[in-house]
Amino acid sequence: MSNEKRDNWGSRSQFILASIGSAVGLGNAWRFPGLAAKHGGGAFLMVYLLAMLVIGIPFLMMEISIGRKMHRGVPGALRAINKKTEPIGWFAVSNAFVISVYYAVVFAWVIMMAFASYKFAGLTGDSETASGIWAGLIKTTGTTSGYGTISFPVLGCLVIAWVLIYACIRNGPGTVGKVVKYTVFLPVICLVILAVKGIAMPGAIEGLTKFFLPDFSTLGKPEIWIDAIGQVFYSLSIMMAIMVAYGSFLDEKSNVAVDSIIIAFSDFAISVLSGIVLFTTMSGTGQLDNMTASGIATAFIVYPQSIVLLTNSGVANAIFAFVFYFCLCTLAIDSAFSIIEGVSTAISDKFHLSHKKTTLTLCIVASILSLWFITGAGLAWLDIVDNWCNAYSLILVGILEAITIGWLFDPKKVLKEVNRNTENFKMPAWWFVTSIKFLAPLTLTGFFLWNIVSLFKSGGIYGAADGYSFASNIIGGWLILALCILSGFIVKLIEKNMKKNGYKPDEDVWEDTSEG
């Protein structure tokens, strides 16, 4: 292991808040409620909670504990467990980097809508015009062609987004710990304000009933289980190199078992709060049946229709619009910078580079690449790349991580690390080992196969109904997937070449020295 001093979280609360901030993102605010609307409200909540307990929490504990044990990002941690599995870590890192490129654009959209909230003041009752504000600002063609146009409002907001991302993580956990004290609590305050308004509206009870009352008939459909399990993994920031990196900055006395429970249930609570906001507001404005499982459509097209129907005062509606989009900004920033932090930690650890310089370089490179997604064709390309990163790459990473710990290593050794320093609650072996060794790989494999079958049922073209071509799926899907898989082997070639100039890779090994 390198002798250089590693940064640590300033306190336990900083780590917990940073992890909650990473886990709680835009998906909580718009995708979770949309999936609940799609799958029978309370029935989806039940399945989501079950998936979180059975698979999500053990996986979260696993990633945090191996990061703390090895004080390395995910490639270095997996290398210490089994040298042959280091490429899996780079697969996770490269996929996370791709996600950061387009996630920053979505962050820019919500910044732009916060700035544009004044537009709602003059649109009281005009739902049709309100629904077109976002599309008009981003100047999308809705297709994979139209590179000649660039939305300058989005470009300006994209610059702001990347400056904010870098500013938040420029000194690693030092600056992250200071930022999350505000960015984790601000969205909760905003959501509470919006929830109070929503609950006070006529028809709110109907919305709450639809959200919390289970429609048990949906439990027999495989889609609800697929979507719930997928949302758990996406929401908890696992399989994205983030939680291993955050765990690597932990103090040896930290309580991984209890902290993971706090992080997971905080994430769930904010998802439920977001659901209350959307269901009551949509119901109160007569838009409940228009909610979709697509987060982007809900936040930028459907919700604006509700904003202009909230009150008879245009100024009040504009204020509520600002509160909503400012809330999304605070949700987006934590997730955005945590992804870059996971990538930066892995690269700086591997090549013994300055963390600060690595972070700056990554932000510059990613910001240039993100320009692809603010052209007229950007929305379609973002949709394709996002689908492939989440439906295929992310799930494959999860399968390989579970196999590495569950079958190529001993999950009981990881469990021992999880339960170190905890007395009031110890993660049971039957729960942790069964999940990591059997349930996680089997469930994720089933999830992956489901996505593959669904893809080929549509002729092998994601978004065929939207006019996306097979060529666009090759470029934005298969090619990026292949590069992410090959990234570990590319790193190996770089390492081999650097060795000729005196570079020595860290040769850490997992040593079982913890007390039971």
pTM metric for this prediction: 0.94
Residue 324's CB: how many other CB atoms inside 10 A?
27
pLDDT of residue 294: 65
Tell which phi-psi region holds residue 255, choosing left (phi > 0), alpha (psi between -120 and 50) or beta.
Answer: beta
Residue 330's CB: how many other CB atoms inside 10 A?
21
Nearest to 76 by CA among 61, 60, 92: 92
pLDDT of residue 196: 94
Dihedral angle computed from the Cα positions of residues 47, 52, 54 and 59, in that order, rounded to the nearest 10 degrees:
150
Tell me how many degrees the CA angle 408-57-219 measures, rounded to the nearest 5: 105
Q: How far is 65 from 18, CA to CA, in rounded Å?
A: 16
pLDDT of residue 437: 97
pLDDT of residue 86: 97
User: CA 228: distance to chain centroid?
Assistant: 15
pLDDT of residue 514: 47
pLDDT of residue 513: 63
pLDDT of residue 5: 67
Q: 10-residue block means of pLDDT along the chain (516 residues)? A: 67 94 90 90 95 96 97 96 96 97 97 96 93 92 83 96 95 90 92 94 93 92 90 91 96 94 96 94 87 78 91 95 94 94 96 94 97 94 94 95 97 96 92 96 94 90 88 95 96 94 89 60
pLDDT of residue 297: 84
DSSP 214: B
pLDDT of residue 3: 42
Nearest to 336 by CA among 357, 356, 363: 363
- What distances in angstroms separate CA 491 from CA 41, 349, 483, one per listed residue? 45, 13, 12
pLDDT of residue 293: 61
Q: How far is 197 from 174, CA to CA, in rounded Å?
A: 37
Tokens linked to 491? 């790193």
